[in-house]
Structure 1
Amino acid sequence: MKIAMWSGPRNLSTAMMYSFGARADCAVWDEPFYAAYLEMTGLEHPMRAEILAAGETDAAKVAARLTGPHPDGKPHFYQKHMTQHMIDGVDHGWMKQVKNVFLIRHPARVIASYAAKRDNPTLDDIGFWQQAELFDMCDDPVVIDSHDIRENPEGMLRALCAALDLPFDPAMLSWSAGGHKDDGAWAPHWYGAVHNSTGFAGVEGPLPEMKGAYSELTEQALPFYRKLAACRITLPRT
């Protein structure tokens, strides 16, 4: 099975990659289109030179690998994607050959976390409108909220696996500290917290208070988040 997990940045996406990577039957690929995205846009991102040097800058070659044989012959292939990487000029047709899952998080939490690592984020940077656009392209997409995963990791991962027709593996609930062998070249800048973790962080607190431009950005992103949140996996309340 090929699983494409779509999110914006600062969205529990690395922890989810580590969760699937902890399965003995699953290969992972960290942000396959990142180098192509930087090459095509010319954007300045932290560690740009290292990302371009380490990654594949030809988007067509990336897509061919995403739909081809699984790395190391593993039965399952988990692909951690950033929605903002799927710009004009990147063919989306390969998405028909994978199971598409959308990992969402409230924009106030995303923006607060992103701004701590990179100043002055824009709506284009945080991936919400792109996520909604990709969602509309998919047949039978699956949606899961990072808040729900942190509240009940085992319950939500079991529900996600059921939605994918994939057996649940308890190994998904923990991983070794220090990072994953398939981390992208950008990991030293972005992955500090998850490198220190051995499992999903606990329940999130109240939403951060957003002011000024960040409040405006939150309001811009909210309609896209709410659209997908209405379709998310939920567990029965006891």
Structure 2
Amino acid sequence: MYSFAQRPDTLVFDEPLYGAYLKETEAKKYHPEAEQIMESMECDGGKVVDMMLGKHSKEVVFFKNMTHHLMNLDKSFLNSGFNILLTRHPREMLPSFDKVIPNPTLQDVGYAAHAELLSFLQENQIPYAVLDAKKVLQNPQAVLQKLCAKAGIAFEAKMLSWKAGSRSEDGIWAKHWYGSVHASTGFKEYEAKKDVFPEHLLPLLEECLPYYSMLEEEALS
């Protein structure tokens, strides 16, 4: 989202379906500041989709969403745009997630939903690209150039860096999740995590790996 926000032709929206997801699931019981989040945004998923498909002031509109936020929505609306599926190896992602939401489930972290969405896009011939966080960090310019080409937009070198700090588009949940992004000024060089993987997350890791493998095979590099 921060990368695309640097484009002069682009508007960005931070997880517009988060409120609807919280309202309709048990996640409202354990997500930080769930009530405040729901009060801050539209919680009717259908109305959010209408907003996404409506008219906007710039040529390119980037919606950052979590796959599991789509829930039971009619996913046919995804054919109205280009879909970017961003994934990350669960061995690197799960410990970070666990620090904010302890003992997450497969539904919380979204790997199964991500794989299901990939299958849906493929079966319905809906345009998409898959990005793997590691591959992006290893060569951000090359990956973003390929992504923009697939999406039918020009690559902008501005996408490679940004000012440190928050953005006005950030959801009110940013203080819980975006610390490393706010401290960054661009894509950092990839470094494998050296911390010992938490033992209590090993069963979830095993659940996630098959779904991640499906996505990783498709990732641009």
TM-score by length of 2: 0.93
Match of 1:151 in 2: 138
- Render the CA deviation track for 1:100-127: whole Å, top value 9, x for unaligned: 1111110111101111222111111100
Alignment-derived partner of residue 110 in structure 2: 127
Correspondence for 2:59 among 75, 96, 100: 75
Distance in 1, Cα, partners of 2:133 & 2:198: 23
Percent of aligned positions that are identical? 38
> Counterpart of 2:77?
94
Match of 2:22 in 1: 38
Do 1:108 and 1:207's aligned partners in 2 also have CA atoms closer than 8 Å?
A: no
User: Following the alignment from structure 2 to structure 1, what is the Cα–Cα distance between the partners of residues 32 and 219?
Assistant: 32
TM-fit CA distance, 1:154: 1.2
Paired with 1:207 and 1:81, the residues of 2 have a C-alpha distance of 29
Cα distance in 2, alignment partners of residues 177 and 131 from structure 1:
29
State the distance in 2 between where 1:185 and 1:29 align.
13
Answer yes or no: is 1:62 the counterpart of 2:62: no
Gaps of 5+ in 2: none
1:25 to 4, 9, 13: 9
Asked if 2 retains the 8 angstrom alpha-carbon contact of 1:38 and 1:52, the reply is: yes
The aligned counterpart of 1:215 is 202
Deviation at 1:52, TM superposition (A): 0.6
Distance in 2 (CA, whole Å) between partners of 1:68 and 1:207 is: 45
User: Displacement of 1:207 after TM fit?
Assistant: 6.6
The answer to whether the 8 A contact 1:108-1:208 is kept is no
Task: Give every structure 1 segment of 4 or more consecutive aligned residues whose post-TM-superposition deviation is greater than 6 Å.
Answer: none
CA distance in 1, matches of 2:187, 2:64: 17
- Partner in structure 2 of residue 196 of structure 1: 183
Q: Which runs of 5+ in 1 are unaligned?
A: 1-16
Partner SS for 1:204: coil
The alignment partner of 2:97 has SS state of: helix
